[in-house]
Amino acid sequence: MELVDRYLQEVGKYLPRKNREDILAEIRSYLEDTLDERTGGKPAEADVIALLKESGSPQKTAASYAPEGQYVVGPGLYPLFRLITGIAIAAAIGAQLLAWGVSLWSGSGDASAAALVSGLLMSVPTTLGTIVIVFMILQRAGVQPKLDKEWDPRSLPVIKNDEMIKRGELIFGVSAGSLLLALLVVMSDKIGVYNLSDGLFYANPVIQQNLPGIYLALVACIGLDIYLLWRGRWNVASRAAELGVNLISIVVLAMLYKGHSAWLLAHGFTGAFGNLDRLATDLSSSFQMFGMECFQIAFGIALIVVVAVTISKLVKIIFRSLRAK
């Protein structure tokens, strides 16, 4: 009975994790037994809808299994608490990453990975603590939405299985990552800028200096993809590992971006438009400078993309965690 499963899924969002499964099993047993008694074991969708309406909304059912006094944030306020918490934490993390990115881009302030982690460890708990205190006050003051309003069981969210992996994407990721890793190991000294007009090659010293970090990021990505292919589905550990892999990639890309910036500055390159006269008089060396700036821009764009993806995944994990509590 799909509607019953969808109903239990929603009820579970408002139950404490400790005894959630036992309560859901009890509710399922009651619903199925009642339907069997009323319909002789052949319930129609209309029978299920009628029983669920009698039972009440998922919030109301969850609230009946524990006195309000046992909640820090009760079932009535929890949906709003979950929404505000997710938005606030995502905003706090986004603000820290944005500030760190500005410091990294401009070269002012502390743009180290330690500064980013320190900022996150200070802002996220403070944000969460503030929200919890506010909702504790609301809970103690008796501020509650109405749980007995009319609702339609057919409006229950459809059950989605977002734990399954996409094997095609993972196989491509392992193949592409392994190929790139092999190329770096065999011919890392061949990565650089080629001047086709005079046949000169300029190796990229920044990539050479950061090879250990690049190897680490690639091996971590490949390892995670292989683990997911073996497990066949996502779990808490693999999602945490994915965030860790993304953070490693962010640090490595930041080092590559800063390294190219420092190299260009050390060689007196102030940007393509600021060096047009130099291009006209010294085409060969300027070609190397422009090539290194292209590398810098590419790593900068990659850094922005990975940071954005990481924030998006972190927000999803936060909301998923809040729904599970």
In a domain, 301, yes or no: yes
Last residue of a domain, one of 11, 35, 66: 66
Same domain, residue pair 319 and 204? yes
Nearest C-alpha neighbor of 86 from the set 273, 280, 318, 242:
318
In a domain, 245, yes or no: yes
> How high is the pLDDT of residue 216?
92
Q: How far apart are alpha carbons 153 and 183 in whole angstroms? A: 56
> How high is the pLDDT of residue 221?
92
Same domain, residue pair 173 and 36? no
Last residue of a domain, one of 66, 86, 107: 66
pLDDT tens figures, 210-225: 999 999 999 999 999 8
The mean pLDDT value for 254-280 works out to 71
Same domain, residue pair 199 and 301? yes
Question: Residue 266: pLDDT band by 50, 70, 90 thresholds?
Answer: confident
Same domain, residue pair 62 and 188? no
Last residue of a domain, one of 66, 99, 117: 66
Percent of the chain residues past pLDDT 70, beyond the cut: 78
Could you say which DSSP state residue 72 is in? S
Question: Residue 236: pLDDT band by 50, 70, 90 thresholds?
Answer: confident
Say whether pLDDT at 205 is over 60: yes
Please state, rounded to an integer, the average pLDDT across all residues of the chain: 78
Same domain, residue pair 299 and 194? yes
In a domain, 71, yes or no: no
pTM over cut 0.75? no
Say whether pLDDT at 179 is over 50: yes
In a domain, 198, yes or no: yes
Say whether pLDDT at 69 is over 70: no
In a domain, 160, yes or no: no
Beta bridge partners of 193: 202
Q: How far apart are alpha carbons 230 and 238 in whole angstroms? A: 12
Percent of the chain residues past pLDDT 90, beyond the cut: 7
> How high is the pLDDT of residue 107?
63
Q: How far apart are alpha carbons 220 and 244 in whole angstroms? A: 9
CB-side neighbour CA atoms (13 Å) of 10: 19
Same domain, residue pair 133 and 195? no
Say whether pLDDT at 133 is over 90: no
pLDDT tens figures, 35-66: 888 888 788 888 888 888 888 888 778 877 76
In a domain, 159, yes or no: no
Say whether pLDDT at 173 is over 60: yes
Same domain, residue pair 239 and 281? yes
Same domain, residue pair 228 and 191? yes
Q: How far apart are alpha carbons 320 and 36 in whole angstroms? A: 34
Same domain, residue pair 114 and 256? no
Same domain, residue pair 171 and 320? yes
Question: Residue 273: pLDDT band by 50, 70, 90 thresholds?
Answer: very low
Domain of residue 142: give its range: 78-150
CB-side neighbour CA atoms (13 Å) of 130: 11
Nearest C-alpha neighbor of 218 from the set 175, 263, 160:
175
Same domain, residue pair 143 and 273? no
pLDDT tens figures, 276-322: 455 545 555 567 778 888 888 899 889 888 988 888 888 777 766 65
**82, 32 Cβ separation under 8 angstroms:** no
Q: How many domains does the chain have?
A: 3
In a domain, 112, yes or no: yes
Same domain, residue pair 205 and 235? yes
> How high is the pLDDT of residue 280?
47
Cα distances (angstroms) measured from residue 77 to each of 41, 206, 266: 37, 53, 57
In a domain, 294, yes or no: yes
